Amino acid sequence: MLFSITNPFVFTVFGASGDLAKLKIFPTLYELMLQNRFPKEFYIVGFSRTKLTQSAFRKIFKESVEKKFGKDVNTKVLNALIKHVYYFSGQYTQIEDFIAFRLFLEKTTKKRKIEHIAYFSVPPVVFKDIVRNLGETRRSKKDDIRLIIEKPFGEDKKSAEELYHFVSQYFTEKQVYLLDHYLGKTSVQSILHLRRSNRILSHMLHGSEIANIQITAFEDIGVGDRIGYFEQVGTVRDMIQSHLLQILALITMNIPNHLDAESVQREKHAVLSAIDCPCDSENIVLGQYKHYSDKKGVSKTTRTETFAAVRLFLDQEDWYKVPIYLRTGKKLHEKHTYVVVELKKFPFQPKHEEPNRLIIELQPDERIHITLVNLHEDVQQQQEITTTDSIACSIEGCLPDHGTLLLEVIKGERLHFLSFHEIISAWTVVDQITSLSQKNKLRLHRYEHGSMGPKAQHTLPKKDGFSWYDIH
Ligand code: BG6
The Å distance, Cα 158 to ligand 1 centre, comes to 24
Query: Same structural domain for residues 125 and 66?
Result: yes
Per-residue pLDDT of the chain (472 residues; tens, 9 = 90+): 778 889 999 999 999 998 889 999 999 999 999 999 999 999 999 999 999 999 999 999 999 999 999 999 999 999 999 999 999 999 999 999 999 999 999 999 987 888 999 999 888 789 999 999 999 998 777 778 999 999 989 999 999 999 999 999 999 999 999 999 999 999 999 999 999 999 999 889 999 999 999 999 999 999 988 888 899 999 999 999 999 999 999 999 999 999 999 999 999 999 999 999 999 999 999 999 999 999 888 999 999 999 999 999 999 999 999 999 999 999 999 999 999 999 999 999 988 889 999 999 999 999 999 999 888 878 878 888 888 788 998 888 889 999 999 999 999 999 999 999 999 999 999 999 999 988 888 999 999 999 999 999 999 999 999 999 998 7
Task: Decide whether any atom of ligand 1 lies within 6 Å of the 238 Cβ.
Answer: yes
Any domain includes 156: no
Query: Same structural domain for residues 256 and 128?
Result: no
- In this structure, the residue with its CA closest to atom 14 of ligand 1 is 182
Q: Which of 150, 172, 193 is the last residue of a domain?
A: 150
The residue among 470, 420, 19, 408 whose CA lies nearest residue 242 is 420
Any domain includes 71: yes
Range list of β-strands (E), 138-205? 145-150, 176-179
Any domain includes 178: no
Any domain includes 53: yes
Residue 235 maps to which CATH number? 3.30.360.10
The Å distance, Cα 231 to ligand 1 centre, comes to 15
Query: Same structural domain for residues 54 and 128?
Result: yes
Distance in angstroms (rounded) separating the CA atoms of residues 39 and 41: 5
Any domain includes 408: no
Q: Which atom of ligand 1 is nearest to the CA of 182?
A: 14
The Å distance, Cα 30 to ligand 1 centre, comes to 21
The residue among 328, 174, 149 whose CA lies nearest residue 238 is 328
Any domain includes 455: yes
Q: What is the pTM of this model?
A: 0.95
Query: Same structural domain for residues 126 and 214?
Result: no
Any domain includes 175: no
Beta strand 324-329 with 176-179: parallel, antiparallel or unpaired?
Answer: unpaired
Range of the domain at 333: 183-399+424-462
Any domain includes 2: no
Neighbours of 109 (CB within 10 A): 18
Query: Same structural domain for residues 261 and 374?
Result: yes
Query: Same structural domain for residues 127 and 235?
Result: no
- In this structure, the residue with its CA closest to atom 6 of ligand 1 is 238
Query: Same structural domain for residues 386 and 451?
Result: yes
The residue whose CB lies within 8 Å of the most ligand 1 atoms, and thus the one to mutate among 185, 237, 238, 304, is 238
Task: Decide whether any atom of ligand 1 lies within 6 Å of the 219 Cβ.
Answer: yes
The Å distance, Cα 243 to ligand 1 centre, comes to 8
Alpha helices in 236-348, H assignment, sequence order: 245-252, 261-272
User: Would you state the pLDDT for residue 74?
Assistant: 97
Query: Same structural domain for residues 140 and 33?
Result: yes
What's the domain count of the chain?
A: 2
Distance in angstroms (rounded) separating the CA atoms of residues 208 and 439: 37
Using the CB atoms, write b or e for 454-469: b if 16+ within 10 Å.
bebbbebbeeeebebb
Task: Decide whether any atom of ligand 1 lies within 6 Å of the 180 Cβ.
Answer: no
Residue 43 maps to which CATH number? 3.40.50.720
Query: Same structural domain for residues 393 and 280?
Result: yes
